[in-house]
Amino acid sequence: MNCAERLVALFGSQAEVARRLRLDRAVVNNWVKSGYVPARWAMEVEHVSGGQVSAADILNEANTRKPVRVKSRPDGENFFGSSLTGSDAMNEFAPKKRISSFHPPQRTLMGPGPTEIHPRVLTTMSQPAIGYLDPVFVEMMEELKSLLRYTYQTKNPLTFPVSGPGSVGMEYCFVNLVSPGDKVVVCRNGVFGGRMIENVERCGGTAVVVEAEWGHPIDPQKLEDTLKANRDAKVVAFVHAETSTGVLSDAKTLVEIAHKYDALTIVDAVTSLGGSPVLVDEWQIDAVYSASQKCLSCTPGLSPVSLNQRVVDYVKARKDKIHSWFMDMNLLLGYWGETTRTYHHTAPTNSLFALHEALLLIREEGLDNCWARHERHHIALKAGLEGMGLKFLVDPKYQVPQMNAVFCPEGVNEAEVRKRLLDEFGLEIGAGLGPLAGKIWRFGLMGYSCRPDNVMLCLSALGSVLDDMGLPVHVGDAESAAHAAYAAMHVKAAQAKKKVEKKAA
Ligand SMILES: Cc1ncc(COP(=O)(O)O)c(C=O)c1O
């Protein structure tokens, strides 16, 4: 049976295949008639079929049925007229190993990011390339900016994705806001606060550090005391959701305190955006950055930022030259600004298509539903992990739903557990960093990875591995605890709905 026939056999009918893949029936009929599934559907089909029809099978079959033909010069013909005999001379630099096309395995990603990518995002990303100044692309950029404003809950005109991962968004904020000699208060309660200090120092600034123990939120009183003693501080920077520990700090209060002392704020929302409320306008955050590969469920490589008017005016008034050409806000405005569209750098067009689709999915779900989904599955996962006897690092009041850090039980080789989860169940979870290396596991529930099937797979896989390693874990207990948590939430939701209906009647 070819892949198209296997799909039909798996789901019972062409109509059902079409329904599951959200396609027109005629498309599936065409696959069956032509005897293969086109290569661009490989990942989505593998996902929807739960790996029963693998992407590798589809790609191999599609390549045999409809090979991509590339016109090449006949062997030996030397275009540049040199005396070298083409392939032989060049083969000296060729890899020794025989290399074929890369097909990543299907994994369940429940680490600190990247997350699984929604099939609609993958499909959109594989559309034909167009130029970054193409009028159609320019129109898409405007939509993308408006979707980002929705996700950030802001009206800031300067809200756009910087080309590069979250670290580039971080650096973008620091190079634009910190001049040599500036004093910057940085709050550190994990790895990424530490990176902020590095950024300040590389910009020639002086970092005054507000420390908090790893796993604890930033103490607002400590920030206020530090600002009282450093009234010349120009900027306050902190991480909203510290990915290394899974702790959430009170962004609204920290920004309020910074403003009381006339400092601008830089907020890292890499792990929070899309998973927990980030209300840029209401909390009056001045500069914020995030990353595409966490709760936005997109490919890594884009860093959405939003800067308010205070920041724009501040940067425009700088007398010194911004240290980075690539990240100079004034220059990037020429491409992402409201009115002009001039070449700055070659924008990663297909990644931007993908981000547009990822944000559209959030818009369709509704931002508040998206936050609620992260909370719901966090509660179920937590019930299961605690049901297994595992302890959370962070106090429940400050836990980030999308980043669950738990202590590895005494005497267990934590790396061995992660390896077995990956090898035996295709499940990726995260390790501890810095002082927590070897001591904790980090379970991500971000974006498209935040689903009940992932919660259940994770609990059952972890239970099975720990049981096998001789721990007093009863396989099935964790799943029962998670089911009970889901059931309790369903009852609560039904009661709330009834109350609303009664009020409306
Ligand atoms: C809180 C936080 N900030 C910054 C970063 C850096 O982002 P990236 O790895 O995309 O460069 C990360 C990455 O995990 C993060 O979790």
HEC letters along 11-35: HCCHHHHHHHCCCCHHHHHHHHHHC
Q: Which numbered atom of ligand 1 lies nearest the CA of 165?
A: 10
Fold of 3-69: 434 Repressor (Amino-terminal Domain) (1.10.260)
Q: Which two tokens stand for residue 401?
A: 């739903």
pLDDT at 74: 55
Q: Is the C-alpha dihedral spanning 460, 464, 466, 467 positive or negative? A: positive
Tell me how far the alpha carbon of residue 167 lies from the centroid of ligand 1, in angstroms. Answer: 6
Nearest CA to ligand 1 atom 8: 166
- The full set of domain ranges for the chain reads 3-69, 119-363, 367-504
Report the alpha-carbon distance of residue 360 to residue 370 in Å, rounded.
Answer: 12
Q: Which numbered atom of ligand 1 lies nearest the CA of 167?
A: 11
Report the alpha-carbon distance of residue 273 to residue 149 in Å, rounded.
Answer: 12
- Tell me whether strands 287-289 and 264-268 are parallel, antiparallel or unpaired: parallel
Tell me how far the alpha carbon of residue 247 lies from the centroid of ligand 1, in angstroms. Answer: 14
Q: Which numbered atom of ligand 1 lies nearest the CA of 292?
A: 10
Nearest CA to ligand 1 atom 7: 166
List the beta bridge partners of residue 289.
Answer: 268, 305
Nearest CA to ligand 1 atom 9: 166
- 119-363 shares its CATH topology with 367-504: no
Contact assessment for residue 359 and residue 304, using Cβ atoms and an 8 Å cutoff: no
Q: Is the C-alpha dihedral spanning 279, 114, 373, 271 positive or negative? A: negative
E-state strands within 434-474: 440-444
List the beta bridge partners of residue 186.
Answer: 209, 237
Q: Which two tokens stand for residue 172?
A: 């973008």
Q: Which numbered atom of ligand 1 lies nearest the CA of 243?
A: 16
What is the three-class DSSP state of 338? coil
What is the three-class DSSP state of 346? coil
List the beta bridge partners of residue 306.
Answer: 159, 288
Q: Is the C-alpha dihedral spanning 346, 349, 350, 351 positive or negative? A: positive
Contact assessment for residue 161 and residue 146, using Cβ atoms and an 8 Å cutoff: no
Report the alpha-carbon distance of residue 115 to residue 166 in Å, rounded.
Answer: 14
Report the alpha-carbon distance of residue 329 to residue 331 in Å, rounded.
Answer: 5
Report the alpha-carbon distance of residue 395 to residue 418 in Å, rounded.
Answer: 24
Q: Which residues lie below 8 Å from residue 388, measured CB to CB, with a gap of 6+?
A: 459, 462, 463, 466, 473, 477, 478
Tell me how far the alpha carbon of residue 113 lies from the centroid of ligand 1, in angstroms. Answer: 9
| Burial of 147 (C-beta count, 10 Å sphere; 0-12/13-18/19+) | buried
List the beta bridge partners of residue 273.
Answer: 276
- Residue appearing with tokens 């607002």: 220
Tell me how far the alpha carbon of residue 272 lies from the centroid of ligand 1, in angstroms. Answer: 11
What is the three-class DSSP state of 434? helix
pLDDT at 79: 52
Q: Which residues lie below 8 Å from residue 466, measured CB to CB, with a gap of 6+?
A: 388, 409, 412, 417, 473
**Which amino acid, residue 54?**
S
Class (C level, CATH) for 119-363? alpha beta
Contact assessment for residue 109 and residue 444, using Cβ atoms and an 8 Å cutoff: yes
Nearest CA to ligand 1 atom 5: 166
Report the alpha-carbon distance of residue 362 to residue 356 in Å, rounded.
Answer: 10
| Burial of 202 (C-beta count, 10 Å sphere; 0-12/13-18/19+) | middle
- Tell me whether strands 247-248 and 241-242 are parallel, antiparallel or unpaired: antiparallel
Q: Mean pLDDT for each consecutive 10-residue tract of the chain (505 residues)? A: 93 92 86 89 86 87 74 54 64 88 94 96 95 93 97 97 98 98 98 98 98 98 98 98 98 98 98 98 98 97 98 96 94 84 92 98 98 98 96 98 97 96 98 97 98 97 95 90 96 92 89
Half-sphere exposure of residue 153: CA atoms within 13 angstroms, side-chain side:
16
Q: Which residues lie below 8 Å from residue 348, measured CB to CB, with a gap of 6+?
A: 163, 301, 302
What is the three-class DSSP state of 273? strand
Tell me how far the alpha carbon of residue 124 lies from the centroid of ligand 1, in angstroms. Answer: 24
Contact assessment for residue 237 and residue 184, using Cβ atoms and an 8 Å cutoff: yes
Q: Is the C-alpha dihedral spanning 172, 307, 125, 362 positive or negative? A: positive
Tell me how far the alpha carbon of residue 473 lies from the centroid of ligand 1, in angstroms. Answer: 34
Q: Which numbered atom of ligand 1 lies nearest the CA of 303?
A: 10
Tell me how far the alpha carbon of residue 11 lies from the centroid of ligand 1, in angstroms. Answer: 40
Report the alpha-carbon distance of residue 242 to residue 440 in Å, rounded.
Answer: 15
E-state strands within 287-337: 287-289, 302-307
Q: Which numbered atom of ligand 1 lies nearest the CA of 241?
A: 1
- Residue appearing with tokens 């090449």: 72
Q: Which numbered atom of ligand 1 lies nearest the CA of 242?
A: 1
Tell me how far the alpha carbon of residue 166 lies from the centroid of ligand 1, in angstroms. Answer: 5
Nearest CA to ligand 1 atom 13: 166
Residue ranges lining ligand 1, Cβ < 6 Å: 112-113, 165-167, 170, 192, 239, 243, 268, 270-271, 291, 300
Q: Length of the chain, please?
A: 505
| Burial of 29 (C-beta count, 10 Å sphere; 0-12/13-18/19+) | middle
Tell me how far the alpha carbon of residue 244 lies from the centroid of ligand 1, in angstroms. Answer: 10
Fold of 367-504: Aspartate Aminotransferase, domain 1 (3.90.1150)
Report the alpha-carbon distance of residue 159 to residue 293 in Å, rounded.
Answer: 18
Tell me how far the alpha carbon of residue 485 lies from the centroid of ligand 1, in angstroms. Answer: 31
Mutate to test the pocket of ligand 1, among 109, 167, 327 (most ligand atoms within 8 A of CB): 167
Report the alpha-carbon distance of residue 226 to residue 307 in Å, rounded.
Answer: 25
**Which amino acid, residue 356?**
H
The number of angstroms, rounded, from the C-alpha of 374 to the middle of its chain's C-alpha atoms is 14
Tell me which residue of 458, 318, 465, 291 sits closest to 381, measured CA to CA: 458
Mutate to test the pocket of ligand 1, among 191, 240, 270, 288 (most ligand atoms within 8 A of CB): 270
Tell me which residue of 122, 129, 48, 132 sits closest to 355, measured CA to CA: 122
pLDDT at 84: 52
Q: Which numbered atom of ligand 1 lies nearest the CA of 170?
A: 4
The number of angstroms, rounded, from the C-alpha of 345 to the middle of its chain's C-alpha atoms is 23
Tell me how far the alpha carbon of residue 28 lies from the centroid of ligand 1, in angstroms. Answer: 40
